[in-house]
Structure 1
Amino acid sequence: MAVKQGKRGGARKPHGGGKKKGQPSQQERRKVVKQQHKQQLMTVLKSKVKDELEKLSTLDKPVQSPTNSESSFGSAPLRKAFPKKRVSFANKVQSKEFHISDLINTSTSEASPGRSILTPKRGAKLSLPKKELVVEKHVEETVKVVEKKPELVEEKPSKLAGKSQPTTFGNRVVKKKEAVKVTKKVKEQLLLMPRKERKAFLVELRKKQKPNFTLAAECKTLWEQARMGKTPQAKKDELIKDLVGKVKGHAKELIYAHDMSRVFQFLLKLEREGITSMLFDELNAEIIRMSKSMYARHFVRRMLKYGTKLQKQIIIEAFKGHAVSMLANIYSADILESVYNEYADAQQRFNIITEFYGQEFVVFRIDTIKTLDEILADEPGKRQMIMKHLEEILLEKCTNKVTLRHSLVHKLLFDLLEHGDKEQKSNLLDSIKDKIPEIVHTPYGARVAMRCVWLADAKDRKLIVKNFKDLSEKAAMEKNGQRVLWAIFDQVDDTVLINKFITSEIANNVGKLLEDRWGCLCLEYMVHPRDGRSMDYNVIKELELGDKNTVSKKDKKDRYSEIFLHLIEPLLTYFAANMRSALMGDMSALTSHVLHKALELQIGRDFFERKVDSQLRINCYEAIADVAAVDFIPMDPNGYHLIESRAGGWVTGQLLRQDSKLPEEERLAVQIVKRVPEEFLANWVGCNKGCFALLRMWENGGVAVQTHIKKIVDVDRLDKYSMVGARLLKEAVTGIKSAPRPKASDADNAELSGSETESAGENELRDEDDQSEEEMDFDE
């Protein structure tokens, strides 16, 4: 019989065999081994303890117990050592003394272990029984605390004790209440008081330090009840009446506190004429001071929003002579900016601006509104004085990040850049060159940023470009911010840096830009710079001012070409994947222009030759053909066909007109013939736009396209239509010129669309050079 091997290597007995009588089992043997091992350990331990006791008995120096050490105050005598000594396995035993003053400090022993047995865990605090505190007052007015049996050692107080420190409340950081400052004598008294008495004492102390403490507390209680939604209206009116009665006569003292400023805002928001007038009459002498306060400024802002026209005028008149000092304060600068943009009329805006030209303009007001150009033309001798005053204010007070964002500051910066000397311009550029993205959101701020780009040398231009990192997308979708990007594209020679920090970010967010009006315009500029068909003439003239700078050395066409090549691939790839939304979506009026200019061949007004990869063009043309490859139903209520839609039909027609200049495999007409079924394509003759699309395919698609169109077009069907497109298509297919028809009335030509109405004559339709006349302005 086979014998199986056990886990411990011993051979198991065959089945059925039992142990012999009188032999111990395996479990019993294990118990015996454990007992023997335990006895050996106890023997070794006893021998070591005995050796240590013999060594301790031979020492001459007695061991002093730590609990019998002398107190640091010198008031407690030494106690005798305990007869029973503590046992230590250290080679050297030392006693330790604990000195108790305000805290219990321990000194580390040189022996091993080097930590006292009484040293508590970090963070534990002293627990002292109240009955065992003994207070002794000396001449120096110090308090000594003698503790008999301290349980734990008090933690050392923080250096920031007495200051308000933030604490965490969940995910929020809550700032603690500010500690009350008291003298040392009062602090000693507070330490001896019970908790309730101490709290009451501090309340009374705050009342003495703040005369309106009780009044403010009562007002806040009423406000809290009045602003609750569940409070009945009658009760709310009564609470508001009581609140107004308490505030009346004390507004000047209460308005500057954080909590009470909220109460005043609540009263103004009620928009009750009596309450608003009462508060305004009491506080109108404090307008400038409140504007410079962190919390009271909200009252001024609320009065500008909810006050009467007369009250708003009083506030604006109060700013007279204080504009410079208000702009230097971050809180009042915000109020001044709001008044300048939203509430002041033209004369008041002019008065605010002229205060920054010098004190003379504050004392002697100019009644006629003038620009700085007109002021300097009338009095040229004041140029140096005005520019010096502007430079001092702007460079010393207005170049911080908060104030620099205001449009009022941007207007002053523009005046200094336009009329200052070379040194003043250089100083201003040095102070704001790293903050250009902060000012591009206003018209004057964008013009200042553009001039900084033109004035900066190559090193500073690199800094300006780098500062647009992660901000290019946002700037491209702003009406004013995109103009700064255009100035960079026009004049900065380092196109590698531009593509790295600006073009790459725009290319990665093409879809988001195509959903925005200004984003589409920025993309148009990048593929076709300074195109007068879609850009404002004044903006083009503004950009041309930068062409006079002496820093730019690279040819303009090289800069534009390198930026275009970096953008065109992701742009056309996006169009190929989203062609339906680009041609027939909500933003198709704008995206169709971007698509057309990206695929458009070079024309006379171009600064560079736009070279599009053949495969990218074919992919886009295939996507257009796929959108058109559906059955044509005229005036379909479920959605117009591509040819019948306004934007899609226009783009298709414009791209078909340039097919003759492209290789046959890259032509849009070829892709339409391949991908649109014959029965669907034949139905295009059912509308005027479809006839013109087939006509352009016939004229520019090549022989194969003409053969296909001749095959599918039904000439008899064309005879039934009176549309101009049908007549011209029939003439092209048959080669027979039709007799001239009488001039159609407006009602007969009602179906003609925008681009086709302009080209009702045959000669105009065939004039390929005059493409701009058939463009539609979809931007408006």
Structure 2
Amino acid sequence: MAPLSKKKQANKRSYQDDKKADSKTLKKPKISIDSSDESDHDMNELSPDAASDGDELDELDELDEVESGSGEDDDEEEEKDSEEQDQSETKEDGSNNHDEQKKLLKKRKMMRKSGVEVQRIKSLWEKLRVKNPPIPKPVREKLSNEIWELSKDCISDLVLKHDASRVVQTLVKYSTKERREQIVDALKGKFYVLATSAYGKYLLVKLLHYGSKNSRQIIIDELHGKLRKLMRHREGAYVVEDLYVLYASQQQKQQMIREFWGSEYAVFKDAHKDLTIEKVCESSIEKRSIISRNLLGTITASVEKGSTGFQILHAAMREFVKMANEKEISEMIELVHEQFAELVHTPEGADVACTLIARASAKERKLIIKTLKNHTDSLIKNEYGNIVFITALLCVDDTVLMFKSFGPSVKEHLKEFVSDKYARRPWLYIMLGLDGKYFAPNVLSELNRYITLSEATSKKPSLQRRHEHLKRFAPMILKCLSKNCSELLSENLGCQFISEALVNDELFEQLEDKDLENFSQLIGNVIESFQGDISEEGHPMQSPFSTRLLKSLIQGGKWNNKEKKVEPLKKVQGLGVEFAARFYDEVIGPEKLIEWCNNSNSSFTIVALFETLKSEKEGAKFAKDLKKILSKIDDSSDENKGAKLLLKLAR
């Protein structure tokens, strides 16, 4: 392995100093495939040696040690030194004017390796990259062909230079499929160097984006065996992440993850392609120990370098927690608890977070909750993050801590939560439990798995824990629904949520006397929202989901689809007959009854009123008024099925 240059040694020392001083977590930038983005990139280029400095070499690192000392970085540094020298000399010569300085710099560039070709290529590229006005396709193909003829013999020299690399990126973007295959073939053996180059990585991402399946497989195969080293490299980590998330097939993803198990699974990839980590760990304690050590080493190094938000790292973490013992789980929590919120935005990361919460001790859960409470809004709205929050509700015994940690932020955003597809699920769980109506079978399966994992550390019965949450959050929920009743009734999800909150014996039972007023006020606001002319645009009766809400409130129970009947509420007050009579008096009355009967949107509400009040003394007025207008009900329209049914029942 060649000794480090003085400049590289200086970079190495500088990186070590920066690493000690930097305690903040880096945010993951996206690598754009726009050819203009590279020039705006402001990250410092590090050589593979510098980026992985301070890490202990594992088995796979030793296999690639020779490759990490390749001379391309030295060539690039020499070019930079030369440019600095050019600029310094031209500045010192005060007699030269600006034009002479430019000529001198151009002359020096022409004298470099492939200098003449680079200048000719760049002049053609300036024409090819024009976007406004768009270049005609024949002209673009001609320019692409000319650039390729000039660059195909020196392409390996171009791809690591900041300006020339952009030329090849544009060529990839506008070339044919066959030409892209030729570029990939010409760059074989260079993909690792490209991945670790501040400029070359953009070309590699371009090749992945525009390339064929075969091209991607060639790149993946060449990088195979080096992924753990790339994950520890500041530039390479982003390439690996984009490769895993955007371009790899499911089979390729599994191949990439198995590489993190150790060198045996990297070198003999075909022999282990159908293995799962559980099977390997069951077959050999020694192999389990090796895999655990390799995974934890890669995860630790990546977290320390600020890659906690990477999905491929989350996938590696998921492999680790599948086979981790209690000590290893504690080590993982200690490692990631400060960046815990960065796990929850991917399915793999959310699974890791849920598993850690389920298996954590009470003390460790406090650390996790302390981190997550600062991200309540984004956590609960996230497709995967809300499952993490539900898992915390399912597993954490300290319900007081949960309410104090998340309650203030929940109160501020609850209106958004109850009408959001994902954010409403934690509150539906608190009110209804894990109801299959709102939780898909695969989600239920995962949540039940976390419950099973938590049995060793969670002591309270699950029903008791949920009722404690309900007792604390229910008043907040009712106030929010009451305050925003009219707006929520205009939305399908909001209307459905109001129905689940009101037609709910468990919620009503957990309310204290001081909170019963909130429940009654919500009922009153629902009734008030339905007042007015039902033919006006924006009236709640214009929406079919409002009809379903009214039917539940009037019937005073939930429909049991299995038994095909309504299950009446036992504890809730103010619904059923009482609500039906009040709704008729305050909203419909004799003056609007015929209008509600002849309207196809509202006629089924009248049917529900009839079925609920027909044998009750509170329904005497309604029955009398209905009898008077039966002859005026129009049942000639096929659209108004409710009117037809009402006449059939009432006559």
**TM-score, scaled relative to structure 2:** 0.72
Quote the residue 1:372 is aligned against: 277
Relative distance call for 1:525 and 1:699 in structure 2 (3 A) is farther
CA deviations over 1:459-492 (Å, ceiling 9, x no partner): 4322222222442111212221111111222233
Cα displacement string for residues 580-625 of structure 1 (whole angstroms, at most 9, x for unaligned residues): 443343xx0x22332122223325xx89835692332233222322
One-letter amino acid matched to 2:280: I
CA distance in 2, matches of 1:437, 1:226: 44
Are residues 1:548 and 2:452 paired? no
2:550 and 2:605 in contact (8 A); partners too: no
Paired residue for 2:592?
680
Cα gap change, 1:447/1:611 in structure 2, threshold over 3 Å: closer, same or farther? farther
Separation in 1 of the partners of 2:414 and 2:241? 35
1:669 offset after TM fit, Å? 2.7
CA contact (8 A) 1:326 1:332 kept: yes
CA displacement, residues 360-390 of structure 1 (integer Å, 9 cap, x when unaligned):
2233333652322233344555222222222
Question: Does structure 1 retain, via aligned residues, the 8 Å contact 2:581–2:619?
Answer: no
Q: Give distance in 2, aligned partners of 1:376 and 1:691.
A: 65
What's the CA shift for 1:264? 1.6
Which residue is 2:315 aligned to?
411
Q: CA deviation at 1:673?
A: 3.0
C-alpha contact (below 8 Å) 1:520/1:591 kept by paired residues: no
User: Match of 2:553?
Assistant: 655
Residues 656 and 697, structure 1, Cα contact 8 Å, conserved in 2: yes
The 2-side partners of 1:370 and 1:266 are apart by: 41
Q: How far, CA to CA, are the matches of 1:601 and 1:491 in structure 2?
A: 23
Distance 2:102 2:508 in 1: 82
Tell me the residue number matched to 2:622: 709
Aligned to 2:244: 340
Measured in 2, the distance between the counterparts of 1:566 and 1:209 equals 77
Distance across 1 between alignment mates of 2:80 and 2:472: 58
| 1:425 positional shift | 2.1
Kept in 2: contact 1:664–1:670 (CA 8 A): no
Asked if structure 1 preserves the Cα contact closer than 8 Å seen for 2:357 and 2:365, the reply is yes
Q: Which amino acid is 1:373 matched to?
A: E
Amino acid at match of 2:310: H
Q: What's the CA shift string for 1:280-299, capped at 9, x where partnerless? A: 22112211221222221222
Q: 1:188 to 1:298 in 2, by over 3 A?
A: closer
Aligned to 1:447: 351
**Cα drift, residue 639 of structure 1:** 7.4
Counterpart contact for 2:125–2:167, Cα < 8 Å: yes
In structure 2, the CA distance between the partners of 1:353 and 1:277, relative to structure 1 (3 Å rule), is closer
- Cα deviation for residue 432 of structure 1 reads 0.9
Equivalent-residue separation in structure 1 for 2:592 and 2:450 (angstroms): 48
Of the three residues 454, 470, 481, the one matched with 1:575 is: 481
Question: By how many angstroms is 1:694 displaced?
Answer: 0.3
Q: Could you tell me which residue of structure 1 aligns to residue 425 of structure 2?
A: 521
Structural RMSD (CA): 4.1
Q: Residues 239-254 of structure 1: matches in 2 within 5 Å?
A: 239-254=143-158
Structure 1 equivalent of residue 524 of structure 2: 622
Are 1:287 and 1:318, in contact at CA under 8 Å, matched by a contact in 2?
A: yes
Q: Whole-Å Cα distance in 2 between the matches of residues 665 and 188 of structure 1? A: 90
- Paired letter, 2:592: F
State the distance in 1 between where 2:167 and 2:106 align.
Answer: 24
| Partner of residue 264, structure 2 | 360
Q: Tell me, what secondary structure is at the counterpart of 2:505?
A: coil
SS in 2 for 1:509: helix
Equivalent-residue separation in structure 2 for 1:209 and 1:414 (angstroms):
53
1:431 Cα deviation from its structure 2 partner: 0.6
Distance 1:429 1:610 in 2: 37
TM-score (norm 1): 0.61
Q: 1:342 to 1:236 in 2, by over 3 A?
A: closer
Aligned equivalents of 1:262, 1:582: Cα separation in 2: 52
1:492 aligned to which of 386, 396, 399 = 396
**Alpha-carbon contact 1:560-1:608 (below 8 Å) kept:** no
* Count of aligned residue pairs for this structure pair: 548
Residue equivalent to 1:426 = 330
Write the distance in 2 (CA, Å) between the matches of 1:506 and 1:645.
28
- Looking at structure 1, the residues matched to 310 and 233 of structure 2 have their Cα atoms a distance apart, in angstroms, of 12
Q: Which amino acid aligns with 1:384?
A: S
Q: What is the CA deviation profile of residues 84-104 of structure 1, one whole-angstrom value per residue up to 9, with x for unaligned ones?
A: xxxxxxxxxxxxxxxxxxxxx
Does the CA-based 8 Å contact 1:337-1:406 persist in structure 2? yes
Please state how far the C-alpha of 1:320 moved relative to its aligned partner. Answer: 2.6
- Residue matched to 1:143: none
Quickly say closer, same or farther: Cα 1:480–1:193, change in 2 above 3 A.
same
For 1:632 and 1:193, the matched residues in 2 are separated by 86
Flag the 1:182–1:473 CA change in 2: closer, same or farther, 3 A: closer
SS at match of 1:203: helix
Alignment of 1:94-173 (within 5 A): none
Judge conservation of contact 1:508–1:570 (CA < 8 Å) in 2.
no
Aligned to 2:74: none
Aligned-pair identity (%)? 22
Is 1:385 the counterpart of 2:290? The answer is yes
Mapped to 1, the partners of 2:510 and 2:89 lie a distance apart of 87
d(CA) in 2 for partners of 1:208 and 1:380?
A: 61
Structure 2 residues without counterparts, runs of 5 or longer: 1-39, 44-78, 557-568
Residues 226-258 of structure 1 show CA distances to partners (whole Å, capped at 9, x for unaligned) of 222237536655544443333222211111122
> What residue identity is the alignment partner of 2:278?
D
Q: Output the CA distance in 2 between the equivalents of 1:598 and 1:359.
A: 55
Aligned CA distance change for structure 1 residues 235 and 369 (closer, same or farther; 3 Å): closer
TM superposition shift of 1:430: 1.0
2:610 alignment counterpart: 695
**CA offsets, 1:719-773, max 9 Å, x none?**
987999889978998xxxx9xxxxxxxxxxxxxxxxxxxxxxxxxxxxxxxxxxx
